[in-house]
Chains A and B, each alone.
Chain A
Amino acid sequence: MFGYVRPGGRLSDEDRKHFQSAYCGLCHTLGRRCGMAARLILNYDFTFLAMLLSESSTCQTRRCPLHPLRGRACACQNEALERSADYSVILLWWQLQDGIADHGFWGAIRYRLAAALLRRAYRKARFARPGFDESARRELAELARLEAEGCPSVDLPADRFARLLAGIAGEEEGTRRRVLEQMLYHLGRWIYLADAADDLKRDLRRGNYNPLALRFAHEGGVLTPESRQELGKTMDGSVRAMAAAFELAEFGAYRGVIENVIYEGLYLVGAAVLNGTFRRRKGQAKET
Chain B
Amino acid sequence: MRDPYEVLGISSSATDEEVKKAYRNLARKYHPDNYHDNPLADLAQERMKEINEAYEAIQSRRKGGSYETGGYSAAYSGYSGDAAFARVRAAIAQGNLALAETLLNAQGDHGAEWHFLKGAICHRRGWLDEARRYYQTAVSLDPLNAEYRQALDLMEGNQNAYQPDGYRAMSTVGCGNDLVSRVCGTLLCLNCLSGGGYFFCC
A6 within 8 A of B: yes
Interface size on B, residues (CB 8 A): 54
Asked if A241 contacts B38 (CB within 8 A), the reply is yes
Stretch of B58-66, B72-80, B165-173 contacting A (4+ beta carbons < 8 Å): B165-173
Given A9-B186, A275-B177, A267 contacting B171 (CB threshold 8 A): yes
Most buried by A among B35, B125, B190: B190
Measured CA separation A124–B153 after assembly (Å):
49
B7 within 8 A of A: no
Interface size on A, residues (CB 8 A): 78
Asked if B39 contacts A182 (CB within 8 A), the reply is yes
Asked if A275 contacts B170 (CB within 8 A), the reply is no
A172 within 8 A of B: no
Asked if A159 contacts B184 (CB within 8 A), the reply is no
Q: Which residue of A lies closest to B186 (CB)?
A: A9
Among the listed B183, B188, B196, which residue makes an inter-chain contact with A272, where contact means beta carbons less than 8 Å apart? B183
B98 within 8 A of A: no
Asked if A228 contacts B173 (CB within 8 A), the reply is yes
Among the listed A232, A233, A238, A248, which residue makes an inter-chain contact with B47, where contact means beta carbons less than 8 Å apart? A248
A239 smallest CB distance to B (angstroms): 8
B128 within 8 A of A: yes
Enumerate chain B residues within 8 angstroms of A235, measured Cβ to Cβ: 172
Enumerate chain B residues within 8 angstroms of A41, measured Cβ to Cβ: 199
Enumerate chain B residues within 8 angstroms of A42, measured Cβ to Cβ: 199-202
Chain A to chain B: the 9 pairs with minimum beta-carbon distance, closest first: A9-B186, A27-B202, A232-B173, A155-B127, A270-B172, A271-B175, A232-B172, A237-B128, A267-B170
Measured CA separation A246–B174 after assembly (Å):
23
Contact with A along B120-139 (1 / 0, CB 8 A): 00100111111010000000
Asked if B129 contacts A155 (CB within 8 A), the reply is yes
Measured CA separation A10–B164 after assembly (Å):
12
Contact with A along B179-193 (1 / 0, CB 8 A): 111011111111001
A105 smallest CB distance to B (angstroms): 27
A186 smallest CB distance to B (angstroms): 6
Asked if B126 contacts A269 (CB within 8 A), the reply is no
Chain B positions within 8 Å of A, measured between CB atoms, are: 29-30, 34-35, 38-40, 43-44, 47, 122, 125-130, 132, 155-157, 161-164, 166-167, 170-175, 177, 179-181, 183-190, 193-196, 198-202
A70 smallest CB distance to B (angstroms): 11
Asked if B157 contacts A238 (CB within 8 A), the reply is no
Chain A positions within 8 Å of B, measured between CB atoms, are: 6-11, 16, 19-20, 23-24, 27-28, 31, 39-44, 64-67, 72, 74, 153-156, 159, 162, 175, 178-179, 182, 185-186, 189, 215, 228-230, 232-241, 243-245, 247-248, 259, 263-265, 267-272, 274-275, 277-278, 281-286
Given A175-B43, A234-B128, A281-B184, A271 contacting B155 (CB threshold 8 A): no
B202 smallest CB distance to A (angstroms): 3
Measured CA separation A31–B183 after assembly (Å):
33
24 contacting pairs across A/B (C-beta < 8 A): A6-B188, A8-B186, A8-B187, A10-B186, A23-B202, A40-B200, A42-B202, A72-B194, A155-B129, A156-B127, A178-B39, A178-B40, A182-B126, A189-B126, A233-B132, A236-B157, A237-B128, A239-B172, A244-B35, A247-B162, A248-B47, A263-B164, A265-B188, A267-B174
Measured CA separation A42–B43 after assembly (Å):
35
A27 smallest CB distance to B (angstroms): 3
Q: Which residue of B lies closest to A16 (CB)?
A: B188
